[in-house]
């Protein structure tokens, strides 16, 4: 410690960012060449380096800003594996490396952001310039729309919303200045499946980039970069964390977008807090087993709901009755626990009675945790390119890790409350 002096490093003083590659080269040098691993193995091994942490299994949580250099010369030459807390610590690197491995061989780098929405806005802003145009799916997460309508507009970037099931027809909406086609598949309330390879082909033919909110599937069930997506975005708040106790966004770039993404994140000073990075990498270790259970239980609950007389239809891409089922089957390796149900028309009070009667389903928005959720929703005011007319009231479920028989029994008593309320109105 004696000779180490604190203070701002050179990049802090000059505002110039030094090369991250330099620090990564230093860090990766001692690593052994590794065989290609399956995702279940990567979830356990990626981003872990016990040799660097005195043998402890998990990475330490570094609460850090200043990094001290041994000598003045080292300081000026940036001779240090880590340079400044905001630029990365062993804790954030562990998560970054794990996500990069999961995103697959097309992934050239990952940015960690403080929320899923921050990852969406940072990814878009990293590649658009004033005077450009973006195409956004009409099924996008509502705050994504609000960001485009309120922030992009202010910066001179225009947005056109498009029918989520447009597929290769997106070519007809491309303008000479279209820079981004933003996708979310399936839509996280309405569950339209998008033909991502067809959209990517049409977008790339016109020189545009494809961004995808891939939160629903996670890289385990859809590795977006392999299907032509240029920036794959996740609200890690959901399944990566998996315990409803962390906010996280990740943006994974291919070689076409990585430099812009890194630069944008650095120059905006975006950074993920150490405890959230730690919890997120810990959540990833069990993502595979959790997700398989969400998939299996979600499908079992959806199938049982489909049998009920009160239900008009299910919006679940893994069910053959879903209009996007063929696309899901072609491209996705599984389904998460999030889907919606359309009820036959009943008064709103009956829907609320159903939801309020449920004991195992919380009424809350942020899904992906271990617990089940159910919320009422209505996309009418969220659509500008398409009309939302599902045919009855809609409820979105997140199926958690509880015993599926208990969930179905809880829904049964919810339907009894629905029938009582409907009879009274
Ligand atoms: C599909 C989707 N994308 C993005 C987000 C935003 O994530 P966060 O809440 O971490 O900002 C959400 C949150 O509900 C979501 O459902």
pLDDT tens-digit map of 61-113: 999 999 999 999 999 999 999 999 999 999 999 999 999 999 999 999 999 99
Ligand 1, CB within 6 Å, residue ranges: 115-117, 141, 188, 213, 215, 235, 237, 247, 249, 365-366
Query: Is the pLDDT reported for residue 6 higher than 50?
Result: no
- pLDDT band for position 37 (cuts 50, 70, 90): confident
Q: Quick check: is 149 catalytic? A: no
Tell me the C-alpha distance between 343 and 122, whole Å. 37
Specify the DSSP class assigned to residue 321. Answer: T
The ligand 1 atom nearest the CA atom of 216 = 1
Q: Between residues 23 and 300, which one has the greater pLDDT?
A: 300
In this predicted structure, what is the pLDDT of residue 36? 78
Edge-to-edge order in the sheet of strand 249-253? 109-113, 249-253, 231-235, 209-213, 178-184, 133-137, 158-162
Helix (H, G, I), strand (E, B) or coil at 49: coil
What does the pLDDT read at residue 32? 53
Whether 202 has a pLDDT exceeding 60, the answer reads yes
Note if 141 is an active site residue. Answer: yes
Q: Ligand 1, from 117, 191, 272, 382: best to mutate by most atoms within 8 Å of Cβ? A: 117
Average pLDDT in the 294-319 region?
Answer: 98
Q: What is the Cα–Cα distance from 118 to 361, expressed in whole angstroms?
A: 28
Catalytic residue among 179, 238, 290, 313: 238
Residues constituting the chain:
425
**What is the arithmetic mean of pLDDT over 163-181?**
98
Contacts of 30 (CB under 8 A, 6+ apart): none
Pocket test for ligand 1, best of 115, 116, 231 (most atoms within 8 A of CB): 116
Mean of all residue pLDDT scores within the chain: 93
Phi and psi angles of residue 148, each rounded to the nearest 5 degrees, phi first: -65, -45
Comparing 49-53, 186-190, 191-195, 232-236, which segment has the lowest mean pLDDT?
Answer: 49-53
User: Which strands, in side-by-side order, build the sheet including 338-343?
Assistant: 311-315, 338-343, 394-398, 372-377, 361-362
Could you tell me if 187 and 297 are in contact, meaning their C-beta atoms sit under 8 angstroms apart?
A: no
Question: Residue 15: how many CB atoms within 10 A of its CB?
Answer: 7
Active site residue 238: yes
Determine the Cα–Cα distance for residues 370 and 250; give it in Å rounded to an integer.
20
* pLDDT attached to residue 33: 53
């Amino acid at each position: 410690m004696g000779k180490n002096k604190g203070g701002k490093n050179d990049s802090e003083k000059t505002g110039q960012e030094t090369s991250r590659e330099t620090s990564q080269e230093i860090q990766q040098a001692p690593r052994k060449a590794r065989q290609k691993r399956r995702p279940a193995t990567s979830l356990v091994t990626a981003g872990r380096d016990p040799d660097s942490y005195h043998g402890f299994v998990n990475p330490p949580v570094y609460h850090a800003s200043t990094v001290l250099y041994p000598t003045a010369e080292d300081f000026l030459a940036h001779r240090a594996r880590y340079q400044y807390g905001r630029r990365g610590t062993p804790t954030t690197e562990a998560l970054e490396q794990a996500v990069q491995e999961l995103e697959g061989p097309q992934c050239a780098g990952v940015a960690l952001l403080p929320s899923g929405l921050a990852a969406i806005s940072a990814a878009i802003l990293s590649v658009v310039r004033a005077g450009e145009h973006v195409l956004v799916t009409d099924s996008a997460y509502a705050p994504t729309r609000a960001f485009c309508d309120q922030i992009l507009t202010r910066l001179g970037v225009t947005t056109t919303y498009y029918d989520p099931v447009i597929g290769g027809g997106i070519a007809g909406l491309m303008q000479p200045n279209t820079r981004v086609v933003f996708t979310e598949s399936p839509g996280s309330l309405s569950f339209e499946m998008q033909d991502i390879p067809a959209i990517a082909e049409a977008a790339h033919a016109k020189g545009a980039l494809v961004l995808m909110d891939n939160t629903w599937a996670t890289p385990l069930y859809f590795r977006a970069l392999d299907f032509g997506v240029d920036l794959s975005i996740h609200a890690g708040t959901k399944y990566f964390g998996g315990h409803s106790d962390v906010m996280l966004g990740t943006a994974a770039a291919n070689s076409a977008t990585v430099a812009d993404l890194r630069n944008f994140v650095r120059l905006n000073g975006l950074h993920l807090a150490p405890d959230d990075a730690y919890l997120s990498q810990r959540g990833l270790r069990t993502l595979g087993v959790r997700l398989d259970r969400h998939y299996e239980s979600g499908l079992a609950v959806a199938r049982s709901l489909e049998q009920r007389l009160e239900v008009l239809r299910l919006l679940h891409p893994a069910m053959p009755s879903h209009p996007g089922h063929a696309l899901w089957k072609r491209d996705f390796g599984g389904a998460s626990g999030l889907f919606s149900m359309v009820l036959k028309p009943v008064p709103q009070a009956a829907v609320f009675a159903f939801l309020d009667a449920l004991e195992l389903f919380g009424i809350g928005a942020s899904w992906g945790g271990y617990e089940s959720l159910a919320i009422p929703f209505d996309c009418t005011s969220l659509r500008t390119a398409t009309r939302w007319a599902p045919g009855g009231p809609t409820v979105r479920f997140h199926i958690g890790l509880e015993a599926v028989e208990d969930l179905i029994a809880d829904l049964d008593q919810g339907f009894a409350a629905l029938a009582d309320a409907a009879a009274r109105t």
